[in-house]
């Protein structure tokens, strides 16, 4: 009866309607992701990469719009996850397969599929843990960041004078690494710290303006650099935590041994 009642409540909620503005923003992200797939099929890989990044902008905006307007809903959360799977899972996976992995045969399409399935698992885990994990940290590489890394690789290739497709084992390795990082337990900064929206020193504004100017001047290089640093920040955080914990364990171990032996056992 409780399950039937829950289903009835959800149907009644949908009958009352859905919030238009945040879901339109989410739909904009879906449009960009789908158009990216179409561009990949037509061989316009650089355009597909830009569309994935545009979809990431919509993804960053829809949640903020929903919170600012007080229009958050369970429907919006589920819709956003489905859009993320298309825009940051299927679209980048197909882009990398057509652009770089197709020539590797079985290893190529398996790498693309592994990226997509790990992205789906990452989204499912995020939805389950959203109420229990600290909001300032992500567990595993977020799928939009993984898609941004894919897109920035393609854009850097074209910026350096490349065209068409590429055949390098390093790209296959990158896809496997991204797939692993999405389902790993490495923690990543979510940049959702409330302190970031509070008043900051004037110098922070100047630095932010300079940072934006540098990105606009060389977007392909800067986007690749930012994506690479963020991707590496998860394993780096885990290493720092490991080395911080190790000295503590070494200092505690002699004390425990002394307790076990006792003062008169030696």
Average confidence score pLDDT of the chain: 83
* pLDDT the model gives residue 133: 58
How many domains are contained in the chain? 1
pLDDT value of residue 217: 86
Helix (H, G, I), strand (E, B) or coil at 96: helix
Between 1 and 252, where is the model more confident? 252
Is the per-residue pLDDT at 261 higher than 60? no
pLDDT category, 8, cuts 50, 70, 90? very low
Helix, strand and coil content of the chain, in percent to the nearest 5, comes to: 80, 0, 20
Burial class (CB in 10 A: 0-12, 13-18, 19+), 153: buried
262 part of a folded domain: no
What's the pLDDT band for 7 if we cut at 50, 70, 90?
very low
Domain assignment of residue 149, yes or no: yes
Query: Residue 16's pLDDT is what?
Result: 63
**Res 138: pLDDT:** 87
* Residue 39 tokens, joined: 């561009």
Q: Is the pLDDT of residue 3 over 80?
A: no
Task: Report the relative pairing of strands 187-189 and 137-139 from DSSP bridges.
Answer: antiparallel
Domain assignment present for residue 20? The answer is yes
pLDDT greater than 80 at residue 17: no
**Mean pLDDT within 160-189:** 89
Q: How far apart are CA 266 and CA 244, in angstroms?
A: 32
What pLDDT shows up at residue 106? 87
Q: Are 178 and 230 in contact (CB under 8 A)?
A: no
Give ∠ CA 231-234-239 in degrees, rounded to 5. 130
Q: What percent of the chain has pLDDT over 70?
A: 80
pLDDT surpasses 60 at 219: yes
Q: Give the residue-averaged pLDDT of 16-43.
A: 90
3 state SS of 44:
coil
72 or 156, which is more confident? 156
Q: Spell out the alpha helix ranges (H) of 74-201.
A: 74-84, 91-96, 106-129, 143-159, 169-183
Residue 36 in domain: yes
- The verdict on residue 256 lying in a domain is no
Coil, strand or helix at 192: coil
Residue 39: inside a domain: yes
pLDDT, one tens digit per residue, over 30-82 is: 999 999 999 999 999 999 999 999 999 999 898 888 888 888 888 888 899 99
Q: Is residue 215 part of a domain?
A: yes
- Displacement of CA 234 from its chain's centroid (Å): 12
Task: Give me Rg for the CA atoms of the chain.
Answer: 23
Is the model's pLDDT at 84 over the cut of 90? yes
Contact 72, 90 (CB under 8 A): no
Residue 22 forms part of a structural domain: yes
Q: How far apart are CA 93 and CA 89, in angstroms?
A: 6
List the domain range (segments joined by +) for residue 233.
2-246
Give the span between the Cα atoms of 58 and 62, in whole angstroms: 6
Residue 197 has pLDDT above 80, yes or no: no
For the full predicted model, state whether its pTM sits above 0.85.
no
For 94-152, what is each residue's pLDDT tens digit? 999 999 998 888 888 999 999 999 999 999 998 887 666 556 788 889 999 999 999 99
Which residues, listed in sequence order, are joined to residue 188 by a DSSP beta bridge?
A: 138
CATH code where residue 126 lies: 1.20.120.1760
């Amino acid at each position: 009866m409780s399950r039937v009642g829950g289903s009835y409540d959800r149907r009644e909620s949908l009958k009352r309607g859905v919030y238009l503005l945040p879901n339109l923003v989410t739909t904009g992200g879906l449009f960009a992701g789908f158009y990216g797939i179409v561009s990949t099929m037509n061989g316009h890989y650089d355009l597909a990469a830009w569309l994935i990044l545009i979809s990431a902008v919509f993804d960053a905006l829809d949640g903020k719009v929903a919170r600012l307007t007080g229009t958050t809903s369970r429907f919006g959360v589920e819709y956003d996850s489905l859009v993320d799977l298309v825009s940051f899972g299927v679209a980048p996976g197909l882009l990398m397969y057509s652009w770089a992995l197709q020539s590797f045969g079985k290893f190529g399409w398996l790498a693309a599929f592994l990226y997509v399935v790990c992205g789906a698992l990452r989204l499912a885990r995020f939805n389950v843990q959203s109420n229990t994990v600290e909001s300032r940290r992500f567990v595993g590489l977020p799928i939009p960041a993984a898609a941004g890394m894919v897109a920035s690789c393609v854009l850097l290739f074209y910026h350096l004078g490349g065209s068409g497709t590429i055949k390098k084992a390093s790209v296959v390795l990158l896809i496997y690494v991204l797939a692993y990082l999405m389902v790993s337990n490495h923690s990543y900064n979510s940049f959702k710290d409330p302190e970031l929206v509070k008043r900051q020193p004037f110098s922070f504004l100047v630095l932010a303006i300079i940072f934006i100017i540098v990105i606009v001047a060389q977007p392909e290089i800067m986007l690749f650099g930012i994506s690479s640093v963020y991707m590496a920040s998860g394993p780096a955080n885990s290493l720092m935590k490991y080395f911080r914990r190790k000295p503590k364990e070494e200092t505690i171990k002699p004390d425990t041994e002394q307790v076990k032996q006792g003062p008169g056992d030696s």
